Amino acid sequence: MRVLDAIGHALAVAGSMTWEITWSLILGFTLSAIVQAVVRREAITRRLGGDRPATLALAAGLGAASSSCSYAAVALARSLFRKGASFTAAMVFEIASTNLVIELGIILALLISWQFTLAEYAGGVIMITLVGVTFKIFVGEKLVAGARRQAERGLAGSMEGHAAMDMSIASGGSFWQRLLSREGYTAVSHIFVMEWAAVIRDVAGGLLIAGAVGAWVPDSFWRHLFLTGHPLAAALWGPLIGPVISLLSFVCSIGNVPLAGVLWNGGISFGGVVAFIFADLIIIPILIIYRKYYGTKMMLVILGIFYATMVIAGYIIEFVFSGLGLVPTERAARVAEHGIQWNYTTVLNIVFLLLAAALLVRFFRSGGGPMLKMMGGAPDEHSGEHAHHAAHGEAHGTAHGEAHGMRG
């Protein structure tokens, strides 16, 4: 019975967190889908061939408007690299697409506090700047050439098909004309559902792990691990240990935010939380993919540079935010068991679940179903693009048929 009670407690904590963040996830993915629907990827990727500040800023902007799925971001970064983007620009894109996306900021503010949203975005810019400088200094042409040869082999990683799909609106017109058109509705629904399909495993895994850790790991363990009795030591230790915990957790994308809340309640430093969230790009499964994509040497370089820049960004955020008085004084992340109550969260969940249902219905009615089978896709991005165009053509034909039927 004790075992069952413990499992029940962990599931209740995970369920409570799920209910707390449902509406924010739907809102975040809807806004992200709108941005991706009106921003054509191909028009921008041609301008990522260098490592100048303007080029890296463009790569960061493209990443922020792209997928929040770490696996898809890593696959798309290789695709950009193979199409001619510089290696640094591809890495910057990858960082931005998992750390500067809309949905991450919303869920951080809701589950922990708005200060973490501000810290995540500021820290993301700092890390991108550090990566740009560090790659320019330490990564030579010979190493990049070797990585490019390995990338051209086209070995499969994960979410290849999803990364190859450009589901933006093809028609012309103003922003609102494209967005409010039938094609715009279809594009938003396709991107929304595909983004959910890409991250649902990580979100569910993150919530379950956070629920288990929050229910089973005693506070005394965290206090000892994070050196909470020594403020300066805790501030120095947090950014060092945060990425290590993330690396070993196997959770990525926005799925690591619930666990970040558990760590914050347990006593990890403010900068440690930020460094932990950044580290979704160096978890063990993704390191294995880096090795397939770029070779062992470049995988180790990515690991070393990413870890170092995460730690430094964590330190900068820790001391700057402390100096500005922006570090929360209370550790009250919403990771406890509360249950469902009739309040604004329930109302918002109902509203946004209805929105999600409408987008889901549109996705399947417009022929989007086959796209779900293509998410793994072929290692070669051209195969993935061909597959998506086939599905998109089916979707367009279905939507055109609906419109024709309505006119008739």
pLDDT of amino acid 158: 67
Answer yes or no: is pLDDT of 385 > 70.
Answer: no
Q: Is 302 exposed, middle or buried (0-12, 13-18, 19+ CB in 10 A)?
A: buried
What b/e sequence results for 23-50 when a residue is b if at least 16 CB atoms lie within 10 Å of its CB, and e otherwise? Answer: bbbbbbbbebbbbbbbbebeebbeebee
Rounded mean pLDDT, 156-171 = 66
**Crossing angle between the packed helical segments 2-38 and 102-111, to the nearest 10 degrees:** 140
Q: Residue 102, by phi and psi: left (phi above 0), alpha (psi -120 to 50) or beta?
A: alpha
- Rank 66-75, 147-156, 219-228 by mean pLDDT and report only the highest: 219-228
Report the range of poorest mean pLDDT among 2-16, 234-248, 265-279, 302-316: 2-16
Answer yes or no: is pLDDT of 379 > 60.
Answer: no
Per-residue pLDDT band at 258 (split at 50, 70, 90): confident
Answer yes or no: is pLDDT of 403 > 60.
Answer: no
pLDDT of amino acid 25: 80
- Measured distance CA(216)–CA(57) in Å, rounded: 43
Per-residue pLDDT band at 405 (split at 50, 70, 90): very low
Answer yes or no: is pLDDT of 129 > 90.
Answer: yes
- Rank 85-94, 96-105, 344-353 by mean pLDDT and report only the highest: 85-94
Rounded mean pLDDT, 103-129 = 93
pLDDT of amino acid 31: 81
Decide: 271 and 239 in contact? Cβ < 8 Å.
yes
What does pLDDT average to over the chain?
82
Rounded mean pLDDT, 202-215 = 80
Answer yes or no: is pLDDT of 1 > 70.
Answer: no
Rounded mean pLDDT, 340-368 = 89
pLDDT of amino acid 304: 96
Structure tokens at 176: 């609102």
Decide: 36 and 73 in contact? Cβ < 8 Å.
no
Looking at per-residue confidence, does 49 or 263 come out higher? 263
- Measured distance CA(313)–CA(150) in Å, rounded: 30
pLDDT of amino acid 213: 83
pLDDT of amino acid 91: 95
Answer yes or no: is pLDDT of 397 > 50.
Answer: no
What are the domain boundaries of the chain?
2-407
pLDDT of amino acid 92: 95
Rounded mean pLDDT, 283-312 = 94
Answer yes or no: is pLDDT of 42 > 80.
Answer: no
Per-residue pLDDT band at 90 (split at 50, 70, 90): very high
- Measured distance CA(20)–CA(354) in Å, rounded: 16
